[in-house]
Structure 1
Amino acid sequence: MEFRQLQLFVAVAEELHFGRAAARVGMAQPPFSQQIRKLEAELGVELLTRTSRRVSLTSAGERLLDEARELLAKRREVITTVQRAARGETGTLRVGFAASSAFGVLPRIVLRFRSRFPEVSLELDDRERLDHGAALLAGELDLAIVRAPFRHDGVTVERLLRERFVLALPARHPRAREKVIALSSLASEPFILFPRRSAPGLHDTITTMCIGAGFSPRIHQEASSWPSVIGMVEAGLGLTIAPLSARALRPKGVVFRALRGASGWAELAVVFPGQRLSPAAAHFRAIAHEIGLTG
Structure 2
Amino acid sequence: MIDLRQLELFIAVAEELHFGRAAARSGMAQPPFSQQILRLERALGVALLHRTSRHVSLTPAGMALLVDARALIAKRDRMVDMVRRTASGDAGTLRIGFAASSAVGVLPTIVRQLRLALPDVSLQINDRDGIDIGSAIRLGTLDAAIVRGPFLAKDLMVETLRRDGLVAVLPVSHPLAKRAELPIGELAGDSFVLFPRTGAPELYDTIIGLCSGAGFSPAIVQEASAWLSVVGLVEAGLGITIAPALAARSCPRGVMAIPLEGTFDRTELLIAYRHGELHPLVARFRDIALSAMKT
**TM-score range relative to shorter protein:** 0.7 to 0.9
Give how far 1:78 is off.
2.8
CA contact (8 A) 2:170 2:177 kept: yes
- 1:212 maps to a residue whose letter is G
Supply the distance in 2 between the matched residues of 1:181 and 1:61 (Cα, whole angstroms): 81
CA contact (8 A) 1:128 1:224 kept: no
Q: What are the Cα deviations for residues 42-74 of structure 1, in whole angstroms up to 9, with x where unaligned?
A: 334444444444444445444433443333233
Aligned-residue identity in percent: 54
Give how far 1:288 is off.
0.9
**Which residues of 2 match residues 87-102 of structure 1 at below 5 A?**
87-102=88-103
Counterpart of 1:249?
250
Give how far 1:263 is off.
6.0
Q: What are the Cα deviations for residues 229-265 of structure 1, in whole angstroms up to 9, with x where unaligned?
A: 3333334343332221222233344333232344661
**Which residues of 2 match residues 38-187 of structure 1 at below 5 A?**
38-128=39-129, 131-187=132-188
Supply the distance in 1 between the matched residues of 2:232 and 2:50 (Cα, whole angstroms): 82
1:200 equivalenced with 2:201 (yes/no): yes
User: Cα gap change, 1:289/1:53 in structure 2, threshold over 3 Å: closer, same or farther?
Assistant: same
CA contact (8 A) 2:166 2:260 kept: yes
Q: What are the Cα deviations for residues 136-157 of structure 1, in whole angstroms up to 9, with x where unaligned?
A: 2222222222211112243222
Counterpart of 1:223?
224
Supply the distance in 2 between the matched residues of 1:286 and 1:212 (Cα, whole angstroms): 37
CA contact (8 A) 2:131 2:198 kept: no
Give how far 1:132 is off.
0.8
Q: What are the Cα deviations for residues 111-158 of structure 1, in whole angstroms up to 9, with x where unaligned?
A: 122233334332222234761111222222222222111122432222
Give how far 1:185 is off.
4.1
RMSD of equivalent CA atoms: 2.8
Give how far 1:289 is off.
0.9
Counterpart of 1:5?
6
Unaligned runs of at least 5 residues, structure 1 = none
- 1:167 maps to a residue whose letter is A
- 1:243 maps to a residue whose letter is P
User: Cα gap change, 1:44/1:161 in structure 2, threshold over 3 Å: closer, same or farther?
Assistant: same
1:29 equivalenced with 2:27 (yes/no): no
Supply the distance in 2 between the matched residues of 1:59 and 1:231 (Cα, whole angstroms): 69
Supply the distance in 1 between the matched residues of 2:89 and 2:214 (Cα, whole angstroms): 48
1:267 equivalenced with 2:271 (yes/no): no
Counterpart of 1:17?
18
CA contact (8 A) 2:208 2:217 kept: yes
Supply the distance in 2 between the matched residues of 1:55 and 1:186 (Cα, whole angstroms): 89
Q: Mean alpha-carbon deviation: is it higher for 113-122 or for 274-283?
A: 274-283
Q: What are the Cα deviations for residues 92-120 of structure 1, in whole angstroms up to 9, with x where unaligned?
A: 33222111123312111111222333343
Counterpart of 1:209?
210
Give how far 1:223 is off.
2.7
- 2:232 maps to a residue whose letter is G
Report how many aligned residue pairs link the two structures.
294
Q: Mean alpha-carbon deviation: is it higher for 63-72 or for 95-104?
A: 63-72
Give how far 1:171 is off.
3.0
- 1:291 maps to a residue whose letter is A
Supply the distance in 1 between the matched residues of 2:266 and 2:188 (Cα, whole angstroms): 20
User: Cα gap change, 1:14/1:129 in structure 2, threshold over 3 Å: closer, same or farther?
Assistant: closer
Secondary structure at 2:293 match in 1:
helix
Supply the distance in 2 between the matched residues of 1:68 and 1:175 (Cα, whole angstroms): 73
User: Cα gap change, 1:159/1:21 in structure 2, threshold over 3 Å: closer, same or farther?
Assistant: same
User: Cα gap change, 1:202/1:28 in structure 2, threshold over 3 Å: closer, same or farther?
Assistant: same
Q: What are the Cα deviations for residues 166-197 of structure 1, in whole angstroms up to 9, with x where unaligned?
A: 22233333333433322344444443322222
